[in-house]
Amino acid sequence: MISQDEAARTEERLRDALSAAADIMAGSETAAAIAAVPQPPARPTRARAWLIPLAAAACVVAVIAASVALVTTLSRTSGFASLPSSPGSSTCTPLPAAGAGSAPPRFYVTTDVAARQIQLQVRRTSDCAITAVVSLPAGWLLTGGISATADDRTFFAPAFSAKTCPDQPGAIALPHATQTRFFRFAVNDQGRAGRLTMVGPPVSGIVGSVAVSPDGSRIAFNAADGNFVGPGGVCGGGQAEGAAISVVDLTSGKIRTWQTPEMPPAPAGTSVTPGAVSWLADGRTLAVSYVWPTSQTGPQLSMAVAALDTDSDGGSLQAHSHVLWSQPKKCVFCVQEAMISPGGKSLTAIATQQTAQGGRNVLVQISLPSGRYRVLFEAPAGQNSTSATFTQDGSGQHVIVVSGSQAGWIRAGKLLSLQAPGSALKFSFEITTIAW
Amino acid sequence: MKPSGFSAESLAEVFQCRRSELVRLGAFILGDRSAAEDVVQDVFLRMHQRGDRLADVDDPLPYLRGAVINGCRSVLRRRRLVRRPAHRGQPYPPLSAEEALLLSEDRRQVLAALARLPARRREVLVLRYYAGLSEAEIAATLGISAGTVKSTAARGLAALARSLKESR
């Protein structure tokens, strides 16, 4: 027999080796199963953004729809087909030689079709290769909303526990989201991921747009996607609380919330819906974009961005914020979603430009002092997608655009693909599932 | 422990949430990832075709683990590999060359030593140190007594330690 010390060491080595091998294996083994899942619902465009408060329900429906399709497919296939590389999908663009502009972050974190909602992949920007795979604990599913600190090396991802309400068994037992937790991990110079740690207190419901403060001490999120806080929670028939912005202080564990029923310049009596949140470099001011309907009979929206003082005690968003920018009534570039630069001098925004051929997605930079627009990227004709979103790095200079199932970063007006050959970045949810 | 009362949607949800974990479990036991995928596929397919229902089971995972391990044993029997190294003729752990590079040499040695163990010992160690099951849970999964689990795990660990010493 072996000594107790030796047994303990062997146990530890075995546990470590199995865990490491499982993490590596996990990245590719699920690809085939997901090949059967139909295209996920598109991200709400500006024209459909009035549906944002229903997004939580839509997420649940999407999970169910995908699951049902999966079972249907299971019943008629005898084996898993390999994930086909989608025709016409772009492949990773090699990092250009150093030239004008600063270098982008060396790594980005995402989740793709293979990883689904249970794994995060660390990928190298230069060749899109996976350098690490981070798996969530069993029972937790990513909701998207990956966010990084200013140094682009510490990543946060929200995940929810999909549980079934005990009093709703059988065919209608939908996997209600009862709780969201935030998970954190760091990436080193080699792209290896550190230990995944659950941080902060639990949050009821599914969170929407998420932004971690530059130093990683606070996480801001919008609860527009349905933050179920009513008595009894989801299963107890609790009602979704109104749209709100919340900030979790990871040091104290305290959550502060600012309600957003009305905000200028929306007309009195009109409820606004918060969208993307982004931090200024001071780690205190949070830019909040929000939309409101301009017609009760149609999905016409207007939009604005406000600066919230997150050192305030919570309460009314209107009382603790001021409007930074609002969309003109007749917009050429009609902004769907905007994030502020760390210095607070400009907004980066995904907008729709109406052309004779229809709407075209455009990434613009809006100067806050002057209100002028600068086009950073235009989706090529024929490659437009109704679902476009973006995220930026800690400097605000490097922007990743996700359009449909494609992702890339913008350099000198061009989209450099961040998509490895054979990898399909199809997103389960409309919110950001890529970050650097 | 035949499950009952789970809808197709719930089965799909379980599939979505647990497939990866079950495939990895099978892969560690078989040393063959594609065979493990087939085993897991078969388990879910049979459940779906038979209309197995799981609603009365709070946690279907133990049942699924047991079904996957039984499926793995069938594969091993078919290959006549019971009591023989599962990885003979193929690399272990079941990773591609690119993936294997992400594993340190020490971890590769540990996994290779695990692959050399008899199937029953390997099953117990994988369930204990990968799946994190208690002795009682392993006993229920494998259909053996807790005492047998304890002694098999101890012998497996000792054999693993000896194998690692010899490979130094």
CATH number for B8-166 (one of 1.20.1260.10, 1.10.290.10, 3.30.70.100, 1.10.10.10): it is 1.10.10.10
Give residue A209's pLDDT: 84
Best to test chain B binding among A1, A11, A19, A25 (most B CBs inside 10 Å): A25
Q: Determine, for residues B28 and A18 on separate chains, whether the beta-carbon distance falls below 8 Å.
A: yes
Residue A2 lies in a domain: no
Closest CA to A228 of A176, A276, A271, A263: A176
With 50 as the cut, is the pLDDT of residue A86 above it? Answer: no
B134-139 contact pairs (CB < 8 A, 24+): B137/B62
With 50 as the cut, is the pLDDT of residue A43 above it? Answer: no
Residue A339 lies in a domain: yes
Residue A55 lies in a domain: yes
Best to test chain A binding among B15, B123, B129, B163 (most A CBs inside 10 Å): B129
With 60 as the cut, is the pLDDT of residue B26 above it? Answer: yes
Per the listing, tokens 């309907």 go with: A293
Instruction: Calculate what percentage of chain A has a pLDDT beyond 70.
Output: 65
Chain segment B33-62, per-residue pLDDT in tens: 888 888 888 888 877 766 655 544 566 777
How many CB pairs below 8 A link A and B? 152
**Token pair recorded at residue B49:** 């075709």
Q: In this complex, is the C-beta atom of A167 within 8 Å of any C-beta atom belonging to chain B?
A: no
Among B20, B93, B106, whose Cβ lies nearest the Cβ of A118? B20
Number of continuous H segments (helices) and E segments (strands) in chain A? 3, 28
Contacts of B41 in chain A (CB under 8 A): 74, 79-80
What is the rounded distance in angstroms from the CA atom of residue B72 to the CA atom of residue B27? 9
pTM, two decimal places: 0.58
The DSSP bridge pattern shows strands A285-293 and A301-309 to be: antiparallel
Q: CATH number, domain at A393?
A: 2.120.10.30
Q: In this complex, is the C-beta atom of A282 within 8 Å of any C-beta atom belonging to chain B?
A: no
Domain that holds residue A268: 8-79+88-435
Best to test chain A binding among B19, B53, B58, B114 (most A CBs inside 10 Å): B19
Q: In this complex, is the C-beta atom of A73 within 8 Å of any C-beta atom belonging to chain B?
A: no
Would you call A244 helix, strand, or coil by DSSP? strand
What is the rounded distance in angstroms from the CA atom of residue A260 to the CA atom of residue A241? 11
Inter-axis angle of helices B61-78 and B33-50, to 10 degrees? 120
Give residue A259's pLDDT: 87
Q: Is the CB of residue A353 less than 8 Å from the CB of residue A333?
A: yes
- Please state the domain count of chain A: 1
With 70 as the cut, is the pLDDT of residue A181 above it? Answer: yes
**Given pLDDT bands bounded at 50, 70 and 90, which one contains residue A311?**
very high
Report the pLDDT averaged over residues A157-172. Answer: 58
Give the range with max mean pLDDT: A352-356, A378-382, A427-431: A352-356
With 90 as the cut, is the pLDDT of residue A317 above it? Answer: yes
For chain B, the DSSP string reads: -------HHHHHHHHHHHHHHHHHHHHHHHS-HHHHHHHHHHHHHHHHHHT---TT-S--HHHHHHHHHHHHHHHHHHTT-TTS-TTTTS-SS---HHHHTTS-HHHHHHHHHHHTS-HHHHHHHHHHHTS---HHHHHHHHTS-HHHHHHHHHHHHHHHHHHHHHT-
Chain segment A323-343, per-residue pLDDT in tens: 999 998 888 888 888 999 999
Residue A3 lies in a domain: no
Choice between B73 and A279, residue whose per-residue pLDDT is larger:
A279
The complex scores an ipTM of 0.81
Residue A248 lies in a domain: yes
Instruction: Calculate what percentage of chain B has a pLDDT beyond 90.
Output: 9
Q: What is the mean pLDDT of chain A?
A: 73
Closest CA to A19 of B118, B140, B102: B102
Chain segment A134-157, per-residue pLDDT in tens: 988 877 877 768 899 999 999 999
Q: In this complex, is the C-beta atom of A14 within 8 Å of any C-beta atom belonging to chain B?
A: yes
Q: Determine, for residues B161 and A10 on separate chains, whether the beta-carbon distance falls below 8 Å.
A: yes
User: B107 CA to chain A: closest CA distance, Å?
Assistant: 5
Q: In this complex, is the C-beta atom of A173 within 8 Å of any C-beta atom belonging to chain B?
A: yes
Among A15, A27, A79, whose Cβ lies nearest the Cβ of B38? A79
Among B9, B15, B157, whose Cβ lies nearest the Cβ of A11? B157
Give residue B7's pLDDT: 55
How many CA within 13 A on the CB side of residue B163? 20
Q: Determine, for residues B157 and A25 on separate chains, whether the beta-carbon distance falls below 8 Å.
A: no
What is the rounded distance in angstroms from the CA atom of residue A219 to the CA atom of residue A210? 7
